[in-house]
Chain A
Amino acid sequence: MSETSAAPLVSIEGLKMYFPIHAGLFRRHVGDIKAVDDISLEIFEGETLGLVGESGCGKSTVGRATLRLYDITAGSITIDGTNTSKINQADLRRFRPRMQMIFQDPQGSLNPRMNVADIVGEPLDEHMSLSRDERLARIHELLDAVGLNRSFANRYPHEFSGGQRQRIGIARALALNPKFIVCDEPISALDVSIQAQVVNLLEDLQKKFGLTYLFISHDLSMVHHIADRVAVMYLGKIVELAPRDQLFNSPLHPYTQALLSAVPEPNPARQNTRVHIVLKGDVPSPSDPPAGCNFCTRCPKAIDICHHLEPQTIEIEPGRFAACHLLESATKVA
């Protein structure tokens, strides 16, 4: 993994995405859902950054906000040297070809009234001026790339299986030769037997086209398989970010530890010795996060200070970041 030396393709700083809550007769603004609350990360060219966390912790929001599918609340996003965080949606269209997204639900993300050729070809129409033949040739090329039969071009999404649909989604994302693709749980809606095929396809395409992925998933073993580095999210914040092997072998943050303890261990010897950490209670609402550390309501190791003071993200080792009071003291002690 030599990417660390390369320049970051994507860098996010202090990203916040709040969804306003309106209530009452006049729909007054009474609060915010803090879906993403002040996160920073960098993604290097050619790498795959895995983003994991429980359902509802804000992973998709991070992905969408990064691509500016939302107007973000605060923070800056720089992609391929362009700061996209302030550009308005209309002007942003110019930059869309560079950054694409593959969605979780392969069915819902395809317009049911468009056939495959139109779905894949629409971005071509929008951003390039191709002749009919060129357009068709490009569509076929893309279908070939994702392993779909060319004759499927005139079919509608509902005529395909889940895996095939996800391939259509991938072909569509690839149409404009993007550099950066957000894969938002691209396989979680698929059959286990097909998941591997799609992940392999993504890996092949990454090699072939030199793509950079933000790979969102709640499936730790899949992240283990595909990611170079992994970020762990809890309640709108990144609690730990580290190269894959370090994170999986020696998780630092109590939340990461709990997450990993739930993953089935392929090695039975280790399986026996491992303690299964069960988290109690529910995830607090993102509209009303606890004071102090966001994890303090469920953290088995929480100490007093956790309830008052928010832990800072610190670089424990080069390339390893975590936000936990325990680690602060550990580094101090060390």
Chain B
Amino acid sequence: MFNYTIRRLLLAVPTLLLISFLIFLLLDLAPSDPTANLPLTIPPEVREKIRISLGLGEAFHIRFLLWCKQFFYNETLNILEQWWGWDFGGDRLRVLSWQTRSPVVDTIVQRIPQTLWVVGMSYVVGILIAVPIGIVSAYKQYSWFDQVGTFVSMVGYSVPTFFTGVLVIVIFSVWLGWFPSIYDTTLVVNDWSSFVQQVKQMIMPVSVLALYNAAQISRFMRASMLDNLNQDYVRTARAKGIRERSVILVHVLRNSLIPVVTVIALGVPQVFGGAIITEQVFKVNGLGQLLIIAIQAGDVPTVQTLTFIFAFLIVFFNLIADVLYGILDPRIRYD
């Protein structure tokens, strides 16, 4: 397993380099202009100057290598400096956003907390709801509980979050006035009342997203449980005279969780990717909103850096999922 993991990690390096190159290429080919959103009153000559000041005058490969250097080398040194207080000296240019002209990585770091709080929490909540629902739905297949669960997850899955989001805002913010409709990213939780405020502003986005996540995962859980419930070993367990609870929770659940756990692991990068729509609806302004705004503004360095980080997370969590599978399922051995 260890060797396997190391081997996979080594293989990931060229993969990620290739991915970063492809992203850069795609962004370069895509017709986007960082000055496109400026008011029409700014004349073309000025736009051209702006473009050149952004480095667009250079050839493609120079820009790519520059990004690689800025991201892989300069940013790494910078992180080391910040974490361990080392000083490598020298004046290193970091990856700068074209919109804000500030280091992209700083903005990303600034936004991780709200994305993790809201999107991550919704993922956790989603899983916590989904697993029991999936278990009961499968165990009581076609019962009213299962029917309701199926209906709810169909709704959660197929109704877009911009609809449910606006719906809950209208109900709970506009009509009832219970929760704020706009997320305050500057809120610092340091006492009971600010904690309550944080909970209040998280409830709506978290539940909307959690419904969506739970819908997906509970379906998975249910299908996996059903798969296993019909297996002979379950009958064996019953024939052994094991308590029904243990049959379900020890035998069936432990086996059904294997694919579900890997699906959950594979879904983690999406958490970091943020929930573009939900973040927009509730003004959470996390990583998803950062990406979409950067795309709209033609902010190549930001888009490139973010997508690369997402690609990294996807590759990484794929590995995690595989390793988890190997740990959880004794039938799988990688070495």
Q: Name A108's contact: one of B233, B246, B258 (CB within 8 Å).
A: B233
Indicate if A109 sits at the interface (CB-CB under 8 A).
yes
Indicate if A69 sits at the interface (CB-CB under 8 A).
yes
Chain B contacts with A in 228-261, Cβ cutoff 8 A: 231-233, 235-244, 246, 251, 254-255, 258
Contact: B238 with A69, CB < 8 Å? yes
Indicate if A127 sits at the interface (CB-CB under 8 A).
yes
Chain A contacts with B in 107-142, Cβ cutoff 8 A: 108-113, 115, 122-123, 126-127
Given A108-B233, A156-B330, CB of A113 within 8 Å of CB of B254: yes
Which of B233, B251, B330 has the most CB atoms of chain A within a 10 A radius of its CB?
B233
Query: A94: which B residues are within 8 A, CB to CB?
Result: 241
Indicate if B331 sits at the interface (CB-CB under 8 A).
yes
Contact: B233 with A27, CB < 8 Å? no
Indicate if B142 sits at the interface (CB-CB under 8 A).
yes
Contact: A69 with B330, CB < 8 Å? no
Q: Which residue of A lies closest to B238 (CB)?
A: A69
Indicate if B28 sits at the interface (CB-CB under 8 A).
no
Q: How far does the Cβ of B147 sit from chain A's closest Cβ, in whole Å?
A: 9
The segment out of A1-9, A98-106, A315-323, A325-333 that lies at the interface is A98-106
Q: How far does the Cβ of A333 sit from chain B's closest Cβ, in whole Å?
A: 47
Q: Name B239's contact: one of A69, A105, A158 (CB within 8 Å).
A: A69
Query: B243: which A residues are within 8 A, CB to CB?
Result: 90, 93, 126
Contact: B233 with A111, CB < 8 Å? yes
Q: How far does the Cβ of A63 sit from chain B's closest Cβ, in whole Å?
A: 10
Q: How far does the Cβ of B231 sit from chain A's closest Cβ, in whole Å?
A: 5
Q: How far does the Cβ of A24 sit from chain B's closest Cβ, in whole Å?
A: 12
Contact: A103 with B232, CB < 8 Å? yes
In the bound assembly, the distance between CA atoms of A218 and B331 in angstroms comes to 31
Given A105-B232, A156-B331, CB of A111 within 8 Å of CB of B239: no
Which of B233, B240, B242, B254 has the most CB atoms of chain A within a 10 A radius of its CB?
B240
Contact: A112 with B240, CB < 8 Å? no
In the bound assembly, the distance between CA atoms of A113 and B252 in angstroms comes to 10
Indicate if B329 sits at the interface (CB-CB under 8 A).
yes
> What's the tally of chain B residues with a CB closer than 8 Å to chain A?
23
Q: Which residue of A lies closest to B257 (CB)?
A: A113
Query: B244: which A residues are within 8 A, CB to CB?
Result: 89-90
Indicate if A22 sits at the interface (CB-CB under 8 A).
yes
> What's the tally of chain A residues with a CB closer than 8 Å to chain B?
34
Q: How far does the Cβ of B64 sit from chain A's closest Cβ, in whole Å?
A: 47
Query: A274: which B residues are within 8 A, CB to CB?
Result: none
Q: Which residue of A lies closest to B254 (CB)?
A: A113
Query: B142: which A residues are within 8 A, CB to CB?
Result: 22, 27
Query: A97: which B residues are within 8 A, CB to CB?
Result: 241
Contact: A96 with B240, CB < 8 Å? yes
Contact: B242 with A112, CB < 8 Å? no
Chain B contacts with A in 308-335, Cβ cutoff 8 A: 328-331
Query: A67: which B residues are within 8 A, CB to CB?
Result: 239
Contact: B235 with A103, CB < 8 Å? yes
Indicate if A59 sits at the interface (CB-CB under 8 A).
no
Contact: B241 with A109, CB < 8 Å? no
Q: How far does the Cβ of B62 sit from chain A's closest Cβ, in whole Å?
A: 54
Indicate if A307 sits at the interface (CB-CB under 8 A).
no
Given A105-B232, A112-B255, CB of A158 within 8 Å of CB of B331: yes
Indicate if A64 sits at the interface (CB-CB under 8 A).
yes
In the bound assembly, the distance between CA atoms of A64 and B238 in angstroms comes to 11
Query: A167: which B residues are within 8 A, CB to CB?
Result: none
Given A112-B331, A113-B330, CB of A96 within 8 Å of CB of B239: yes
In the bound assembly, the distance between CA atoms of A22 and B243 in angstroms comes to 29
Q: How far does the Cβ of A98 sit from chain B's closest Cβ, in whole Å?
A: 10
Contact: B239 with A108, CB < 8 Å? no
Query: B330: which A residues are within 8 A, CB to CB?
Result: 112-113, 115, 156, 158
Query: B329: which A residues are within 8 A, CB to CB?
Result: 112-113
Chain B contacts with A in 161-204, Cβ cutoff 8 A: none
Query: B254: which A residues are within 8 A, CB to CB?
Result: 113
Given A113-B329, A158-B330, A158-B331, CB of A123 within 8 Å of CB of B241: yes
Indicate if A16 sits at the interface (CB-CB under 8 A).
no
Contact: A126 with B241, CB < 8 Å? yes
Q: How far does the Cβ of A109 sit from chain B's closest Cβ, in whole Å?
A: 4
Which of A92, A96, A122 has the most CB atoms of chain B within a 10 A radius of its CB?
A122
| A–B pairs, 17, beta carbons within 8 Å | A93-B242, A93-B243, A94-B241, A96-B240, A101-B235, A101-B239, A104-B232, A109-B232, A110-B233, A111-B236, A112-B233, A112-B330, A115-B330, A123-B241, A126-B241, A126-B243, A127-B241
Q: Closest 10 A-B residue pairs measured CB to CB?
A: A96-B241, A109-B232, A108-B232, A156-B330, A158-B331, A123-B240, A111-B233, A93-B241, A109-B236, A101-B239
B interface residues, Cβ below 8 angstroms from A: 142, 231-233, 235-244, 246, 251, 254-255, 258, 328-331
Taking A109-B233, A111-B237, A111-B255 as known contacts, 19 extra A-B pairs with beta carbons closer than 8 A to each other, sorted by chain A number, are A22-B142, A27-B142, A64-B235, A69-B239, A90-B244, A94-B241, A96-B241, A101-B239, A103-B235, A105-B232, A108-B231, A111-B233, A113-B255, A113-B258, A113-B328, A123-B242, A126-B240, A169-B236, A176-B241
